[in-house]
Structure 1
Amino acid sequence: MILADRKEEYYRALLEKRTEYEGVFYVGVKTTGVFCRPTCPARKPKFENCEFYETAEQALLASFRPCQRCRPLSHPNQVSELVRLLVEAVEENPEKRWKDQDFENLSIDASTARRQFKKRFGMTFVKYARARRMGLALKSIRAGQTVIDAQLSTGYDSSSGFRDAFSRIMGAAPTLLDDSNLLKASWLDTPLGPMIAIANEEALYLLEFVDRRGLEREIERLRQKTKSAIIPGITNPIRSIESELAQYFDGKLSEFKTPLMLFGSPFQKSVWEQLIKIPSGETRSYSDIALTVGNPNAFRAVAQANGANQLAIVIPCHRVINTNGGLGGYGGGLTRKNWLLNHEKQGSN
């Protein structure tokens, strides 16, 4: 049963289309008989016409049918048919340089493609296609092809234009990149909203909710710190964490095995190591963690280390709360933190 004050909170989230509430609640609309996710683009109902549910199953059992606009039975931001079509078109001819006429030939509006790709990948379709071409260029250069051949194969007549475009997308000039500084990024759908995973072939470097504030700066710092290019793609650690997250949200996994790469000070790493030791379904206070790392007065530094964690859920900073029982902070939003704690408590019972 959802309490009255929680209903008011959920209604505000509905009006504001707040993505951090994805998977936390669903709203049934009495006047239409449909139920929606929090970010539904449809016109918002009056408060008195709303019924709030914790799961889609509860809404269905209450005789509400799924909304055709926000599709609450699918993952949040599930890839649209238009995006799927264009991704397949890029893969069929990844060296293609797209023009307006190409969209018209597919009966696709270029502005719609731009908007949907921006929502899905954080970049426009043109930038996505360009990044894919540049990824091929990088692969060719590593395989021994000359820079000029890679330049021509990706459609650049000017060597300076190619190098500038390459450096802008990859973060380094083509002759400076090799296997040791290439990271791949992939979009992962979860019940609490989409996440981005960044990894090489050995370890996971970053796992964050896509709507986390400051994520772009966080990714840029990672790129600078590792002196790496970050391009769309899949690696074994990304496959591993995607599988483990699915098990975690199904309540079938409490300990992650995907190999991790940690960047931080010795103190931050010591805090993260303690976080991993907190059993699923339990919490610790910032003071508790400070005590375990041997500095009882460092609870503020512990909070800062929590905020610097780049591996959400896997390094469970959501399990650290205030001494008085308050939730404290969380980069993914307090609503998600509360959901994760409740989810883990249910799994440990």
Structure 2
Amino acid sequence: MKLTEERMYQASLEKDSLFEGIYWMAVKTTGIFCRPTCTARKPKRENVEFFINTEKAIENGYRPCKICRPLEKLNETPQYIRDLLNELQQNESLKIKDRDLLKRNIEPVSIRRWFLKNHGMTFHAFQRQFRMNTAFKKIKNGENIMEVALESGYESLSGFNERFKDVIGSTPKNTRSQTIIDLKRIETPLGPMFACSCEEGICILEFTDRKNIDRQFARLSKAMNAEIIQGENKYFKQLEDELSEYFEGKRTHFDVPVYMTGTDFQKKVWQLLTEIPISETRTYKQQSEFLGNPKAVRAVGTANGINKIAIIIPCHRVIGSNGELVGYAGGIWRKQKLLELEGAILF
């Protein structure tokens, strides 16, 4: 994707997130360089220059902006929050309160804001979901409800029942007829992703900043008649390991099971995506021809656009008929980076 400096400058004025990861803008008068989405006041056109990576900017004497922090991975989870999440995973009855955060020199307000922004709930609500997810699975496997309540940190069964119903949507006694989908935020070099998994396999893998991500969650919840709850799953470790190998260039296909929800036509489109070899691309027209319906270009494009399992079902390998990168919900810059990583010859 070749860009003019004028287009890059305009994108910075507009704080256009589609250009994240494609270029960095350096300001001659201040000696700093920024992301395209930096909120700092924009300089005049004659006072800037552009770089395709941060290394070049540093080599030319620029230092990273303290506002947009261009050396950090986009939306990366801070290490202190990762540490908190690891503690929760290791101790299912743990309740981290504000006073515990203060002992760790962590401001409770900062934690609250981060979780509201990135998970749509407070840290305390997140902890409740995590505990109830674990409790649900234990009860589902036949463990005693009272014992599970005590293990979850509750002294009374009534309090446990109330919280359980608030989170899961049913009482502990009715877990047999209830299903949940596990949800976890995972880190990648191109930004964090939300992963959802059911008993059959991974059913959502999306970048957290994807537009209408809530709509994807709602569709999945409705299709499976299940609640999406924060928690661990037997497939998440395998998924994270395979994604790490993929981004390191050591993996060309994924073995982690996936579970697709959609119409028969959509599933055919998604299955066909998995048959595009790594380092190759196809057009929407070619995909429709492979399906035996050359006129279904628009329908194929629509199905691609609502694919819920990014990277593993590689909708990024489908491009426009003129070779342009179009139609990627995770951002065109990510589509470019994924294709570059896979060795696709496009530019």
State TM-score, norm by structure 2: 0.82
The CA deviation at 1:115 is 0.7
> Structure 1 50/116 Cα, relative in aligned 2: closer, same or farther at 3 Å?
farther
Structure 1 residue ranges, 4+ long, deviating more than 6 angstroms after superposition: none
Give how far 1:203 is off: 1.9
For 1:159-308, what aligned pairs fall within 5 Å after superposition?
Answer: 159=158, 162-163=160-161, 165-177=163-175, 181-200=179-198, 202-308=200-306
Which residue does 1:8 correspond to in 2? 9
Distance 1:154 1:221, change over 3 A: farther
Q: Deviations over 1:108-155 (max 9, x none)?
A: 433222112233444321211211221343244235444455456554
Partner of 1:131: 129
**2:124 & 2:134 partners in 1: Cα distance?**
16
255-264 vs 203-212, which deviates more?
255-264
Question: Secondary structure of the residue that 1:277 maps to in structure 2?
Answer: coil
Tell me what 2:51 maps to. 53
Paired residues of 2:130 and 2:231 also in contact (CA < 8 A): no
How many angstroms apart in 1 are the aligned matches of 2:202 and 2:319? 26
Contact 1:184 1:230 (8 Å CA) reproduced: yes
In the other structure, the counterpart of 2:312 is 314
- Find the residue that maps to 1:183 and give its secondary structure: strand
Please say if residues 22 and 191 of structure 1, whose CA atoms lie closer than 8 Å, have aligned partners that are also in contact.
Answer: no
Distance 2:24 2:169 in 1: 41
- Matched to 1:307, the amino acid is G
Number of equivalenced pairs: 345
3-state SS in 1 of match to 2:274: helix
- Give the letter aligned to residue 265 of structure 2: F
Instruction: State the alpha-carbon separation in 1 of the partners of residues 99 and 268 from structure 2.
Output: 56
2:246 aligned partner, one-letter code? Y
In the TM superposition, 1:97-136 aligns within 5 A as: 101=99, 103-104=101-102, 106-136=104-134
Once the two structures are superposed, residues 64-85 of structure 1 have per-residue CA deviations (whole angstroms, 9 ceiling, x without a partner) of 2334454433322233255245
Go from structure 1 to structure 2 and tell me whether the alpha carbon gap of 1:9 and 1:284 turns closer, same or farther (over 3 Å shift).
farther
Q: Deviations over 1:240-276 (max 9, x none)?
A: 3323333333444333332221222221122112222
Describe how 1:12-27 pairs up with structure 2 within 5 A.
Answer: 12=13, 15=15, 18=17, 20-27=18-25
TM-score of the two chains, using structure 1 as the length reference? 0.82
Give the distance between the partners of 1:252 and 1:101, measured in 2 at CA: 44
Mapped to 2, the partners of 1:157 and 1:215 lie a distance apart of 37
RMSD over aligned Cα atoms: 3.4
- 1:251–1:347 CA contact under 8 A, matched in 2: no
Q: For residues 319 and 140 of structure 1, do their structure 2 counterparts lie closer, same or farther at Cα, with a shift above 3 Å needed?
A: closer
